[in-house]
Amino acid sequence: MIREGFSLGHSFIHRLDPRVKLVIAILFSIVVAVADRFTVLLSGLLFSLVLIAMARLKIREVFYRLLVVNGFILLLWIFLPFTFPGDTLFSIGRLTASREGVIYSLLITIKSNTIILSCIALIATSSITTLVHAMRHLYIPDKLAHLFFFCYRYIHVIYLEYTRLVNAMRIRCFEPKTNTHTYRTYAYLVAMLLLKSYDRSERVYNAMLCRGFKGKFWMLDHFSLKGSDLISGTVMLLYIVGLVFLQWGKTIL
């Protein structure tokens, strides 16, 4: 179920140091999230699109990903133009859409998609294991890193367990409907899942103790910053600084 499809590739972006990608993705997301000028956002969008193009991802899959994530944005488009105060742009029956409302919705749409595209290009192009590794190199708390490793590892295992339980339900002709029987069955499914996960966690921990676990994960492979990482990291950083100046230049200077 969890296919990290985007992480399989050999483009320039895929080969960049994950630490650089992670830092740039975070900085870029923050800047775009708080920016409110169309010039800044469109330059940001250009940045994300260039990265997507460089990562040579399948456009159809990227597009599908965007479609799924834009559900909430669609909800805003239904309400915001009509509730935002401002000049009337057009009216449907008794509802009047304001120009400011439409502009605001457009702003949010561009912002949201710009950030998502940059995250697809920079983050989804690394595997989760490498990303967590990169996060450890960027000094996130040790316990949190452990949680990430374990959680990611066991999502797959628990998903398999889940499909097994669902298959068992199907074999017994379970058909989900809106009734108590369905909800009870799903509740037992969740409870079984939690129970099995709980038992598994105890077995795993005991197995770790047997193998001499003393509360520390050793990092075996270390990343090395290559010249190309440094150069592209600097270029991207300069672009982000440029965006900051474009947005707040007047107040800073």
Partner 1 sequence: MHISEGVLSAPVLITGAALTAVAVGVGLKKMDYDRIPQVAILSSAFFVASLIHVPVGPSSIHLILNGIMGVLLGFAAFPAILVALTLQAFLFQFGGITTLGVNTFNIAFPAVVCFYAFGHAVKHKNSVIALCSAFGCGFVAVLLSSIMVATSLVFVEESFVQVARLVVIAHLPVMIIEGVLTVFCVGFLGKVRPEILGG
Looking at residues 228 to 247 of the shown chain, list those that interact with partner 1 (rule: CB under 8 A): none
Q: Pick the closer one to partner 1 by CB: 140 or 231.
A: 140
CB of 227 to partner 1, least distance (A): 27
Closest CA to 17 of 234, 235, 230, 238: 230
Contacting partner 1 within 17-76 (CB under 8 A): 25-26, 29-30, 32-34, 65, 68-70, 72-73, 75-76
Q: Which of 63, 85, 88, 139 binds partner 1 (CB under 8 A)?
A: 85
Tell me the DSSP string of 189-208: HHHHHHHHHHHHHHHHHHHH
CB of 150 to partner 1, least distance (A): 3
Angle, helix 99-122 to helix 18-34, in steps of 10 degrees: 170
Q: Pick the closer one to partner 1 by CB: 75 or 241.
A: 75
Q: Which of 39, 167, 182, 234 binds partner 1 (CB under 8 A)?
A: 182
Q: Pick the closer one to partner 1 by CB: 115 or 229.
A: 115
Q: Pick the closer one to partner 1 by CB: 147 or 231.
A: 147
CB of 197 to partner 1, least distance (A): 4
CB of 147 to partner 1, least distance (A): 5
Tokens of 171: 């074999």
Q: Which long-range contacts link 215-224 to residues 24+ away (Cβ below 8 Å)? A: 216/142, 217/142, 217/145, 217/146, 217/149, 219/133, 219/136, 219/137, 221/133, 222/137, 223/17, 223/18, 223/19, 223/133, 223/134, 223/137, 224/17
Q: Are 127 and 21 in contact (CB under 8 A)?
A: no
Contacting partner 1 within 89-148 (CB under 8 A): 101, 104, 108-116, 119-120, 123-124, 128, 131, 141, 143-144, 146-148
CB of 5 to partner 1, least distance (A): 10
Give Rg (Cα) of the chain. Answer: 24
| Ordered alpha helix ranges (H), 35-98 | 38-55, 59-69, 71-83
Binding status of residue 11 toward partner 1 by CB under 8 A: no
